[in-house]
Structure 1
Amino acid sequence: MTRYVLVRLGNGVFVLWAALTVSFLVLHLVPGDPVSVMLRGNGGEGSSVDPAAADALRADLGLDRPPHEQYLDFVWQAVRLDFGTSFATGDEVSAVLGRALPSTLELAAASLLLALVLGVAAALAASLLPTAPLRSAVLSATVVGNAVPTFWTGVVLLQVFSFRLGWFPAFGEGDLSHLVLPAFALALPGIGLLAQVLGRSLRTALGEPYVRTARAKGASRLRAVTVHALRNAAIPAMTLFGLMIGGIVAGAIITETVFSRPGLGALTAKAIDTHDFPVIRALVFLAGALYVLVNLAVDLVYPRVDPRIVLTAGAT
């Protein structure tokens, strides 16, 4: 087990290095100059920039050095978990992330809990309903969650439950009522995916000999699903759930923008708009680290769910 964890952590370091390298290359290849954006400030695209001031600021930020020197310095900073200062605000990147992280963690936890509870409930309903047409109808309905874009879901929720019915606040953050609509909008695709994957896995498991034997011995359909089939059918859904956690930052960008919530999503959109390279690199590192750690945790849980699974250092 220890060797397996060390190998996976080594693979995770490679994944982080690759993600950071790609982000460095992309940021330096896209059009736009962060120095010009910073000096223009609120003046807009048409405002002029003093060349001398631009050169001085570029030197101060280290952007006048050759790309390979910038890259090596960037990698060394990432190894020390030091991402420098924000181009846009001049604050330490760690402080910028620290201000935005709690709101996103709150939204992520609520949306993941909704996705898990409602996705599993839909899958169980699709397995326990008395007739095949009803079971198929439930699984078919969950496809809507995958097909509808998150921003469209957010807009519809705002129109119906905020502007027309007035049940929930439309924008910002505060008490629990501010969290309901953005959490559901972010969770809806996950609900559909979990229900689809777990529902089909349960259907396959219910056809296995051990489940048929349990049914022949008098087990009810409820017991056959929840006691005998669910544990084995949960493995693909666990993998999917791990991927959902790793991708929560990407979904938060849209959701937090629609609902005007402060957080990593809104920070990412602003950092891209202002070419704030240090913040973008830190966000890429954070998303990559989250992906690596969550998937490692999911792998370690597999043997607990299914004792037949043995983790070896050569597993992928």
Structure 2
Amino acid sequence: MARINVWVFYLLPKLGQFLFVILATYTLTFVLIHFLPGDPLVAALASKSGDSAVLDPAVLDAQRVKYGLDGSLWEQYFGHLLALFRGDLGISISTGVSVTDMIARALPHSAQIASLALVIGVIGAVIITFLAFAAPWPWLRNLLMQIPPFGVAIPAFLSGILLITIFSFGLDWLPSSGVRSPGSQILPAITLALPVGAIFFQVFSSAVFDAMSSSYVFTAEAKGVPPRSIFIKHLLRNALLPSVTILGLLIGYLAGGTAVVETVFSRDGIGRMTVNAVLARDINVIQGVVLVVGATYAIVNLLVDIAYGVIDPRTRPAAAKPSRKAQEVGA
């Protein structure tokens, strides 16, 4: 019973933080959209029909009701908030389709390349870190350590174009666009994996090389333990906590960072849909995408906090020092 109480006291603040992030994301998005100069509905309809379109006031009022933009700002705020809890993100002004359905169709394509990019980036970073750790010469170690930062230095649109030029137009191995062709997700995933792997490498390699100066690593080397065993059994464990933290941030980055890649590779997805919504001034789609990305980021952070509590009990103050009431209940 005491153990359950410990986890309850540990998770309640995290759940409260999760709900706060969702509410704050919704509020900030609503305020920014509705306090921009001009009427958002008029701007969206003008972008859809042309600037010279004549908007009948009666038709405009009907459109406001249809898209949930009627009433005062407070009525719109709480009306959209209640609809959000029902899973209703409104209707797209530019397409007339439910925003929830649009996101449900686009999200799997973005999740596919984001997941593959995360796997490629993390595996690549771990392999390069191990090679640098096991390198017999300092110059080779320094050379390996300088490779990943290029993933951040090179813009995603440039690396994507280079990959298309080499593997699509030059070698004709992989498709350059679309979502239905076999292997169409590989080049976009590699393009995303370059900055993701570079960022993960900076944190992971730093934790690994900091642990190399530990006494247990020195003892293992003195006993003749192979570098691979030292790396797997000792160094990986010490690099786990900071790596979990950066993984949470990277997943949040991937949730909303696919716009450039999906545009370069002409893929349907959340990022490209967001770009189109901004160009069309479609505020319902913009707000829906921001909420989904914010919710994804909040969920990932919640899972990271839970993982922290499982990996290292010292991160759970309630676990380290249970209250007297919890001890009495457990007894």
Alpha-carbon displacement from aligned partner over 1:118-137 (angstroms, at most 9, x marks no partner) = 12111212211112221121
- How far 1:17 sits from its partner (Å)? 0.9
Instruction: Check the 8 A contact 1:38/1:274 in 2, yes or no.
Output: yes
Alpha-carbon displacement from aligned partner over 1:72-129 (angstroms, at most 9, x marks no partner) = 2222222333222222222222211111111112111111111121121112122111
Instruction: Check the 8 A contact 2:92/2:284 in 1, yes or no.
Output: yes
Q: What residue in structure 1 maps to residue 323 of structure 2?
A: none
TM-score, L = length of structure 1 = 0.91
Helix, strand or coil: the match of 1:266?
helix
Give the direction of change, closer, same or farther, for the CA distance of 1:302–1:128 in structure 2 (3 Å limit): farther
- How far 1:59 sits from its partner (Å)? 4.5
Within a 5 Å distance, the mapping from 1:11-160 to structure 2 comes to 11-31=17-37, 33-40=39-46, 43-45=49-51, 47-52=52-57, 53-160=59-166
Alpha-carbon displacement from aligned partner over 1:197-223 (angstroms, at most 9, x marks no partner) = 111111100101121122223322222
Instruction: Check the 8 A contact 2:175/2:181 in 1, yes or no.
Output: no
Report whether the alignment pairs 1:234 with 2:240.
Answer: yes
Give the direction of change, closer, same or farther, for the CA distance of 1:293–1:64 in structure 2 (3 Å limit): closer
Q: What residue in structure 2 maps to residue 207 of structure 1?
A: 213
- How far 1:64 sits from its partner (Å)? 4.2
Alignment partners' CA distance in 1, 2:192 and 2:216: 37
Instruction: Check the 8 A contact 1:247/1:287 in 2, yes or no.
Output: no
Which amino acid letter does the alignment assign opposite residue 165 of structure 2?
Q
TM-score, L = length of structure 2 = 0.87
- How far 1:68 sits from its partner (Å)? 2.1
Alignment partners' CA distance in 1, 2:35 and 2:293: 21
Report whether the alignment pairs 1:174 with 2:180.
Answer: yes
Alignment partners' CA distance in 2, 1:43 and 1:200: 54
Report whether the alignment pairs 1:243 with 2:220.
Answer: no
2:222 to 216, 219, 229: 216
Report whether the alignment pairs 1:278 with 2:284.
Answer: yes
Give the direction of change, closer, same or farther, for the CA distance of 1:311–1:138 in structure 2 (3 Å limit): same
Give the direction of change, closer, same or farther, for the CA distance of 1:176–1:124 in structure 2 (3 Å limit): farther
CA RMSD of aligned residues (A): 2.2
Instruction: Check the 8 A contact 1:268/1:280 in 2, yes or no.
Output: yes
Alignment partners' CA distance in 2, 1:176 and 1:284: 30
Alignment partners' CA distance in 2, 1:15 and 1:118: 32
Report whether the alignment pairs 1:184 with 2:190.
Answer: yes
Helix, strand or coil: the match of 1:280?
helix
Helix, strand or coil: the match of 1:309?
helix
Runs of 4+ in 1 over 6 A off after TM superposition: none
Alignment partners' CA distance in 2, 1:314 and 1:60: 51
Give the direction of change, closer, same or farther, for the CA distance of 1:32–1:107 in structure 2 (3 Å limit): farther
Which amino acid letter does the alignment assign opposite residue 55 of structure 2?
D
Alignment partners' CA distance in 2, 1:49 and 1:56: 15
